[in-house]
Amino acid sequence: MIIVRNKTWIVTVVLLLVALLGLAVAGCGSTTTTADPATTTTGAAKVKAGMMFSITNPPKAGGWDRADWVGVQYLKNDLGWEIAVAEGVPYPQTAGTAAGYAEKGYNPVIFPDAGQSEAFKSVPAQYPKTWFVMMSAVDALPDAPNAAAWVPDFYKYGNMVGIIAAKATKSGKIGLIGGVPVPALVILFSGAIEGAKAVNPNVEVTVSWVGDWVDLPKHKEVTNLQVQKGVDVIFADSGPGTTGVFEAAEAGNAKVIGFAADWYDDAPNAILTSALIDAAKMYKQMAEAFSNGTLKKQIYPCGFDFFRAAPFRGSVSAEVEKDITDTIAKLGSGELKIPEVTHEEINPQ
């Protein structure tokens, strides 16, 4: 029997062992995870991409996130990319997360949210060996050469939304609801106002900002206020909070145009249609450029060929539906010209 006089050193030894164990686990982990580049069937090194969403549950969250998620699935399943997705990253912490990915050797680092433009502009310069791509609207690229952006023409998209809303409304009052007033959204709403006015000069447009992407009761309240003013068609670009918009719209017999993805299954009674954005196509293009090495520092515009309206499923009469589809076609072909006006007055900043 060993008589231990000084108990302290037992504990110190135990502590050291625990610490070593922890570090060993961390160190050994590399041999069991797929951190080493694996080869795909084509023989190219496996691509490790990192991206971060500002909300949680991207596959079921807001319209934009769902649309992007289709693109993410394409990268994962069709191309075999390894994608690490961080969820629920608030805007001020995006830069840190992006830098973290770059540090760990992820390439490219993808920003799916226009609200992340701050991080997109500040991080690339620090990691010249990593490509940073913004898959949403941004007003300018950062100074560094390793950044590119796929920018949907949100103004044209807004035109389309405005046309649908103005043609479908019976009360002559339409509403636009946005989550956070990101610049892309201001452009989108400006396009919607102009598009609506182009087909119905007397239409009344109400713009409301909720202030965040997630607070359900708040979204419902804001929508209520619009519905009480007589608005009967609403376009909502407000992330996961859109559920609140649906509730209020349904209660008030108003219809909602969904953003970017097909929202029909979420609220069959409230949805008029959804203005779809083919984000998956954007991701396809980005992946191709990256893999072929043709990715350049530039803004890749995504024009009207990325937009279309989802099936109406009988939410409006057949003739109204035809009218809308025809007008959208005219917009796409250029026959219908809508002036480009940015309505800064709707920006609460």
Partner 1 sequence: MSSWIVSFLLATMRDAVPLIFAALGILLAERAGVLNIGVEGQMLAGALTAVVIAVLTQNVWIAVVAASITGAVIGVIQSFFTVYLPADQIVVGIAINGTCLGLTSFIYKITIDKGMQLIAPGTLQSIAPGLKDVPVIGFFASWSPLAYIAIVAVVLMYLFLFRTGPGLLLRSAGESAHAAHAAGLNVTLLRTIVLCAAGSLCGLGGAALGLAVVRSFTDNLTMGRGFIALAAVYFARWNPLLAFGACLLFGAGEALAFRAQAAGVGLNPYYYLMLPYVMTLIAVGLFGKGRGPRDAGKPYLKG
Partner 2 sequence: MTSTAATIPRSSLFDRIMVVAMGRWQPLFIGGVTLILSLIVMGLCALVAGANPVTAIVAIFEGALKGRYEVLATLAEFSAISLTGLAVLIPLRTGFFNIGGQGQVELGALAAVVIGLFVTAPGWIVMIIALLGSLVAGALAAVVPLFLRVQRGASEVTTTIMMNFTCVLFMYVMVTGPLKDPKAFYGTTKLVSTAVRLPTLFEGINAGVLIALGVAVLMYLVGRYTVFGLQSTAVGCNRSAALAGGIKVDRVMVTAVLIGAAIAGLAGGVQILAFSFRVAEGWSKSWGFQGIAVGFMGGNPLGVLVVAFIFAILETGSRNMQAMTGVPAALVSLFQGLPVLIYVGLQAAIRISRWKTGAGRSRRRVVVTR
Residues that bind partner 2 (CB under 8 A): 1, 4, 7, 10-11, 15, 18, 22-23, 25-27, 29-30, 32-33, 50, 52, 56, 84-88, 90-93, 96, 99-100, 103-104, 115, 118, 180-183, 349
Asked whether the beta carbons of 71 and 81 are under 8 A apart, the reply is no
Minimum CB distance to partner 1 smaller for 253 or for 317: 253
Look-up: residue for tokens 């394409």? 74
- The continuous run of DSSP H or E covering 174 comes out as strand 173-178
- Contact window for partner 1 (CB under 8 A) among 180-188, 189-197, 213-221, 292-300: 213-221
In the chain, where does DSSP find H-type helix? 7-32, 63-73, 94-103, 117-122, 154-168, 183-199, 216-228, 242-251, 279-292, 318-333
112 binds, among partner 2, partner 1, none (CB under 5 to 8 A by kind): none
Mask of contacts with partner 1, 226-245, x by CB under 8 A? --x-----------xx-xx-
4 binds, among partner 2, partner 1, none (CB under 5 to 8 A by kind): partner 2
Among 144, 211, 281, 320, binds partner 1 (CB under 8 A): 211
CA-to-CA distance for 325 and 309, rounded, in angstroms? 8
The answer to whether residue 73 forms part of the interface with partner 1 (CB under 8 A) is no
Which residue type sits at 187?
I
Which residue type sits at 253?
N
DSSP helix/strand/coil, 152: strand
CA-to-CA distance for 51 and 138, rounded, in angstroms? 17
The answer to whether residue 68 forms part of the interface with partner 1 (CB under 8 A) is no
DSSP helix/strand/coil, 336: coil
Shortest Å distance, C-beta 156 to partner 2: 21
Minimum CB distance to partner 2 smaller for 33 or for 202: 33
- Alpha carbon of 42 to those of 106, 151, 287: distances in Å? 20, 30, 15
Minimum CB distance to partner 1 smaller for 117 or for 238: 238
DSSP string spanning 85-102?
EE-S--GGGHHHHHHHHH
Among 237, 247, 278, 321, binds partner 1 (CB under 8 A): 247
Q: Which residues bind partner 1 (CB under 8 A)?
A: 56-57, 59-60, 88, 208-209, 211, 214-218, 220-222, 224-225, 228, 240-241, 243-244, 246-247, 250-251, 265-267, 348
